[in-house]
Amino acid sequence: MTDPFSPPQPLDPVLDKALASIRADLRDEYLAPHQDPWIVGYSGGKDSTVVLHLVFELLLSLAPEDRRREVHVISNDTLVESPLVMGHIDTVQDELRRAADAWRLPVHVVTSRPDPDATFWVNLIGRGYPSPNRTFRWCTDRMKIQPTSRYIRDQVTVSGEVILLLGVRRDESATRAGSVARYDNGQRLNRHNDLPGCMVYRPIVDLSTDDIWEFLGATMPPWGGSHTALIKLYRDAGGGECPVVTQKSDAPSCGTSSSRFGCWTCTVVEKDRSLEGFVEAGFAEFGPLIAFRDWLVSIRNDPHRRMARRRDGRITVTAEGVFVPGPFTLQAREEIFDRLLDLQAAVGRQLISPDEIARIKTIWADDAAQGALWAAEACAL
């Protein structure tokens, strides 16, 4: 296996040939006789970095009059991202903006974020949603899919149709290979399953993981700097990125048992091995984040911290006679909130925003009023 952290080496002739074909396809597609904008999904990880590299390289290779189509580079910030990964994304985005401005490229660098009423803390602390797990993963849709999909739909409204470029590869996993096969129509572009007017382009779908590391280790990003910081990020974490997700069929890739970069609050995985890797690599300040995340896992099914009724007032019992508890109690939510504020002070970085706090307190007041109403109704029976 290729060592991704070895000094740059000349590209293998087979990989060089594969990349030449990919570059030719990208050029042919970009110069097609229409103005449909490209949207590049950039997660900060190795695969999306390679796609971004190739797209930026293509734009630089074209004459100014041929750069007719807009290119949107979109990243997603769930507001609870791994701090080091989000820092890396911010740095690359700044480099992209400076380079695009200097070369007058039609590149727009944007970040999608969840709706203020759909953030992790508003749902968990405000509404009392139990910490996400494999059977109730409420976070992915609200925090990743909806914000990015909203941006794509907005561009479809403006342009009529868009092309979404993703760093998806068959070699990632058996699940990913199955997903690629399921939506592959044998053409370069595949219609998005959930977003009308959006075509999906997967330029590096047939590259292997070794190919990706070899490319990153042997080339310099066309926007400046190097890929060294990205390689070090993987070395420190021993993980992989949570990719850009725009449909629920891709959700299993976010929050799997593998070591992936993603939300530091992720309770879907048993252990956050990437964040643990950062701590072992010397970033001890992230240790308290791991402890807090593990505590959220431990209290999820504590019957003393869960309400009997769901948020709509129903009491749920499955067909097998199993009682399903409702959200966290108001007391449990207050406990989580207080601990989070203590954690925020301890690590010296903002973990929850003032706007989120204000929304949480509004929800608490509404829930307290509803609880009093239910109690009065129970007494009247």
Question: Are 41 and 271 a contacting pair, CB within 8 Å?
Answer: no
pLDDT for 10: 79
Per-residue pLDDT tens over the stretch 361-380: 999 999 888 766 655 665 66
pLDDT for 136: 86
Q: Binning pLDDT at 50, 70 and 90, where does residue 250 land?
A: low
Tokens of 341: 């504020």
Q: Evaluate if residue 258 carries a pLDDT over 50.
A: no
**Alpha-carbon distance 8 to 15, whole Å?**
15
Q: Evaluate if residue 32 carries a pLDDT over 50.
A: yes
Question: Are 127 and 76 a contacting pair, CB within 8 Å?
Answer: no
pLDDT for 40: 98
pLDDT for 273: 78
Sequence-separated (6 or more) residues with CB below 8 Å from residue 240: 45, 46, 234, 258, 259, 260, 261, 274
Three-state SS at 333: helix
pLDDT for 245: 53
pLDDT for 242: 53
What share of the chain in percent tops pLDDT 90? 67
**Alpha-carbon distance 172 to 183, whole Å?**
16
**Alpha-carbon distance 324 to 321, whole Å?**
9
Mean of pLDDT values over 255-280: 75
Of 8-17, 23-32, 92-101, 159-168, where does mean pLDDT reach its minimum? Answer: 8-17
Tokens of 20: 């030449």
**Alpha-carbon distance 95 to 254, whole Å?**
27
> What average pLDDT does the chain have?
87
Per-residue pLDDT tens over the stretch 112-163: 999 999 999 999 999 999 999 888 889 999 999 999 999 999 999 999 999 9
Q: In this predicted model, which residue has the larger pLDDT, 340 or 235?
A: 340
**Alpha-carbon distance 328 to 62, whole Å?**
56
Burial group, residue 38, by CB count within 10 angstroms (0-12, 13-18, 19+): buried
Per-residue pLDDT tens over the stretch 310-329: 777 677 666 676 667 889 99
Q: Given strand 189-191, what is the order of strands in its sheet?
A: 107-112, 71-76, 38-41, 162-165, 198-201, 189-191
Q: Domains along the chain?
A: 13-116+138-255 (3.40.50.620)
What share of the chain in percent tops pLDDT 70? 83
Three-state SS at 323: strand
Q: In this predicted model, which residue has the larger pLDDT, 282 or 52?
A: 52
Q: Binning pLDDT at 50, 70 and 90, where does residue 255 land?
A: very low
The phi, psi pair for 83, rounded to 5°, reads: -55, -40
pLDDT for 259: 44
Per-residue pLDDT tens over the stretch 40-89: 999 999 999 999 999 999 999 999 999 999 999 999 999 999 999 999 99
pLDDT for 2: 43
Question: Are 111 and 79 a contacting pair, CB within 8 Å?
Answer: no
Residue with the two structure tokens 């910030």: 77
**Alpha-carbon distance 381 to 379, whole Å?**
6
DSSP code of 145? I
**Alpha-carbon distance 260 to 237, whole Å?**
8
Give the other-Cβ count within 10 Å of 50's Cβ: 24
**Alpha-carbon distance 197 to 97, whole Å?**
27
Query: What is the Rg, in whole angstroms, of the alpha carbon atoms belonging to the chain?
Result: 23
Strand (E) or helix (H) holding 5: none
The phi, psi pair for 163, rounded to 5°, reads: -120, 120
